[in-house]
Chains A and B, each alone.
Chain A
């Protein structure tokens, strides 16, 4: 069994939630092998993350280089290729950074790539059994991955519960000297933070959140009326923002806002993991959707199979009557 490595995403000297999820993912992949954390960056922030990770990983590879101050996936890829053994099994969070890094890394390591793994079902010979999802989570699949020459596996944030035991008592190994040329054709410039919208959806206890099921821009008014009746605020899923029917500041999801309401009304939202990633604090979730197979029904507390364009006005009317 080849060595397992977990790439640690971090920011401002603090490891991302996925860092401890990958401890659990690595154990599920192969309970017999202690995974090694790989942390790239520079200076004091990097040192802080390495120290933090030594509590959870037996071994922590530190790769310090000024070119790694910002995690540009193209630069990180080059660093990893020069530091990791060719048959490494590399776990990377399947977030916007991991999507940038994983596929290309697998080519350069000449190893197979599995995207967005949600579970591991053991190893038979040199075949790793992986569970994935397709069609926006409507169906799951079993995937066989030949790991005889290593693998790059992007792991979905969320399904693996973080391993909080912090009892590894690991050591930091400085691998900075192994890094060769880090020149790439892509240069990081800056982060642009979006302007605040007219409404702060993160401050509302009750959200009426609309998705594709709203069908047309004019129908947003139906959601506004329900929200008004409930004393709630209207939020939405990504397709509504893509269609420019609501402002980006109204979007719930990993690429939008993270919300912590008491009650979340998912109206015509299918429930992709990116959308669900933006809902924290275990709210009471009500899902209304025409599609009985919509993944949102797996996570909702209460589900109703209905057309929101008929259901929402009926609900609004009843609430207003009371």
Chain B
């Protein structure tokens, strides 16, 4: 099975407190720690496990600058055989559809049975996988938390739906799946693993290499544009307890007793 997994380099939500820059129009990006989008990492692990079981090859693709190459190498160290980097200033400012259009170009340069994305990334839109599938006219399932190969034309996939229930579907290949966290336990990648793939060549492609005209991507083509960032209104917000740990705990215990949290 030939599998393409789309991965994105994002500011690591665990490692960073996201703050606004002094102009207030963007987040402060200087000291951010970046890593692979968590959902994408689960997708790569799942792809590797499918190939281990059923044969084939995993390719990872990322859209971004040369720093995204690090993310591709990390995923290749996990076991993805090939990497593709799409890097082009023309893509800057693309909306979801623009990104999906670029990925469609990548898909058409290869021959894939299955395309995976993470269920969502840093912007929390959960949109690229579904758009890509619709552009390609192939079936799509989102929030996938189980994949079973039925034969070379069909998969059985579980989707995570409300209340912890799982919606089982049969889906025909080729298709696009967006992967939910928890579907597997992604393997650890050590420095040795990354060194091993350090010299593997990762081809870099531009929009024109993909046979796309520059006006279908980028800010010019985008009908959805983020104009600024701002801090959400705190509403009432929490009453912040301050002071020494002892003082805080004393106050908290009082409150908990009043609210029925302590007998």
Chain A residues in the interface with B (C-beta under 8 A): 72-74, 77, 95-97, 99-108, 111-116, 132-146, 184-194, 205-206, 212, 230-232, 238-239, 241-244, 248-249, 251, 254-258, 262-263, 265, 270, 284-287, 291-293, 295, 297-306, 310-311, 314-315, 318-319, 322
Give 22 pairs: A residue, B residue, CB < 8 Å, sorted on A: A74-B139, A100-B130, A105-B134, A107-B130, A111-B223, A132-B226, A140-B230, A189-B170, A194-B164, A205-B260, A230-B256, A230-B262, A241-B182, A256-B164, A262-B259, A262-B261, A263-B259, A284-B260, A301-B239, A304-B241, A310-B245, A322-B253
The answer to whether B161 touches A96, judged by C-beta atoms less than 8 angstroms apart, is yes
Residue of B nearest to A95 (CB): B162
Q: Which of B127, B138, B185 contacts A185 (CB 8 A)?
A: B138
CA distance A239 to B167 in the complex (A): 21
Neighbouring B residues of A254 by C-beta, 8 Å: 162-163
Chain B residues in the interface with A (C-beta under 8 A): 11, 13-14, 17-20, 27, 95-97, 100, 119, 122-131, 133-135, 138-143, 156, 158-172, 175, 181-182, 185, 223-232, 234-235, 237-241, 245, 248-250, 252-253, 255-256, 259-263
Q: Which of B135, B170, B235 contacts A107 (CB 8 A)?
A: B135
The answer to whether B241 touches A303, judged by C-beta atoms less than 8 angstroms apart, is yes
Neighbouring B residues of A293 by C-beta, 8 Å: 17-19
The answer to whether A139 touches B230, judged by C-beta atoms less than 8 angstroms apart, is yes
The answer to whether B127 touches A102, judged by C-beta atoms less than 8 angstroms apart, is yes
Contact A96:B160 (CB < 8 A) given known A104-B140, A112-B223, A139-B231: yes
Neighbouring B residues of A185 by C-beta, 8 Å: 138-139, 171-172, 175
Contact A106:B262 (CB < 8 A) given known A99-B142, A112-B224, A192-B165: no
Q: Smallest CB–CB gap between A322 and chain B, Å? A: 7
Neighbouring B residues of A306 by C-beta, 8 Å: 245, 248
Q: Which of A108, A141, A144 contacts B229 (CB 8 A)?
A: A141
Contact A96:B159 (CB < 8 A) given known A133-B124, A142-B227, A187-B170: yes
Q: Which of B17, B156, B169, B255 contacts A72 (CB 8 A)?
A: B169
